[in-house]
Amino acid sequence: MDDAKQGEGETRLETLGDIKRHGYRLAVHCLNTACGRGRYVDIDVAIAKLGSTYRFAGKDGMRGVYGCSSCREEGRPHRNTAVHLHIPPR
Q: Which string of DSSP letters, residue by residue, matches 20-51?
A: HHHT-EEEEEE--TTT--EEE--HHHHHHHH-
Confidence of residue 4 (pLDDT cuts 50, 70, 90): very low
pLDDT digits (tens, 9 = 90+) for 19-29: 999 999 999 89
- Could you tell me what percent of the chain has a pLDDT over 70? 83
Neighbours of 66 (CB within 10 A): 20
Q: Can you give the pTM of this predicted structure?
A: 0.74
Residue 57 has pLDDT above 80, yes or no: no
Say what the pLDDT of residue 11 is: 75
Every domain of the chain and the residues it spans: 12-86
Mean pLDDT score of the chain, rounded to an integer? 83
Does residue 62 surpass a pLDDT of 90?
no
